[in-house]
Structure 1
Amino acid sequence: MFSHMMVGANDVQESKVFYDAILGAMGHKPGVIDEKGRCFYFTETGIFAVTPPIDGKPATHGNGCTVGFAAKDPAQADAWHAAGVANGGVSCEDAPGVREGGLGKLYLAYLRDPSGNKVCALHMMG
């Protein structure tokens, strides 16, 4: 459904350290910085990018917005969360764990990146 997702960052290098760590915990390659100072993560299913806002104003997080990354299992979600906390992220929401709702059982882990964007690792439980 989606081709790419892009979030704003006030310090792309700081954000690259954070995203290299959390996405590396999921087996993804480090981000690539382009000539405009944006950082891109390429996968077979899409692209995730971090960029300074094009209008030159400070990056702000979207209230109510979350970027979700698919975790293959709860252990990977936990590793993702630990890597994020160790690399400039801040834990938010409840502690990583199982939540039950209309979509069934989900294993979720939430973080705020260095610019305040909310990100999540999600594993859909059998």
Structure 2
Amino acid sequence: MFTHIMVGSNDVDKSKQFYDAALGALGVPEGQAFRPGSAFYSHNGGAFGVGTPANGEEACYANGGTIGFQAETKEQVDAFHAAGLANGGSDEGAPGKRPQAPGNAYGAYLRDPDGNKICSFCQLPEGA
């Protein structure tokens, strides 16, 4: 469906620290430099980048936008949330079951250091 997702940052080093920790909890390898002022993450055929805007203007977050990262387990969702909070992120929805989401969803939401809204979700076994 997509080739990659990219979000802007005004402090790429701080953002890389945040994403290395939060995405690392999901099994995603550490981000790699793509061009000066950016880091890219590749995992299971998907790519995610964070970097300074190419036009040289201030980065800002998308109002209403959310980027979701897949987790295999509830424990990974919990670790994603904790790692993000410990590395400059802010809580946007604590880990827990999400009855409004399809299936038996368990997820957590964060804001990265620049205000971008991200989440991680997994599907729990029936009855869990």
Give the TM-score category using the shorter length. Answer: over 0.9
Q: CA deviation at 1:34?
A: 2.8
Indicate if the aligned counterparts of 1:3 and 1:45 stay in contact, CA closer than 8 A.
Answer: no
Q: Which amino acid aligns with 1:118?
A: K
Within 5 Å, give how 1:71-110 maps onto structure 2: 71-93=71-93, 95-101=94-100, 103-110=102-109
Residues 1-126 of structure 1 aligned to structure 2 (within 5 Å): 1-93=1-93, 95-101=94-100, 103-126=102-125
| Counterpart-to-counterpart distance in 2, 1:75 and 1:44 | 19
Structure 2 unpaired stretches of 5+: none
Percent sequence identity over aligned pairs? 50
Q: Give the C-alpha shift of residue 38 in structure 1.
A: 1.1
The total of aligned residue pairs comes to 125
- 8 Å Cα contact 1:7/1:51 also seen in 2: yes
- Counterpart code for 2:69: F
| Cα distance in 1, alignment partners of residues 43 and 21 from structure 2 | 16
- Please report how far the alpha carbon of residue 55 of structure 1 lies from its aligned counterpart in structure 2 after TM superposition: 1.6
State the Cα RMSD in Å. Answer: 1.2
**TM-score, normalization: structure 1?**
0.93
Separation (CA, whole Å) in 1 of partners of 2:101 and 2:57: 39
Displaced runs of 4 or more, over 6 A: none
Whole-Å separation in 2 of the counterparts to 1:28 and 1:16? 13
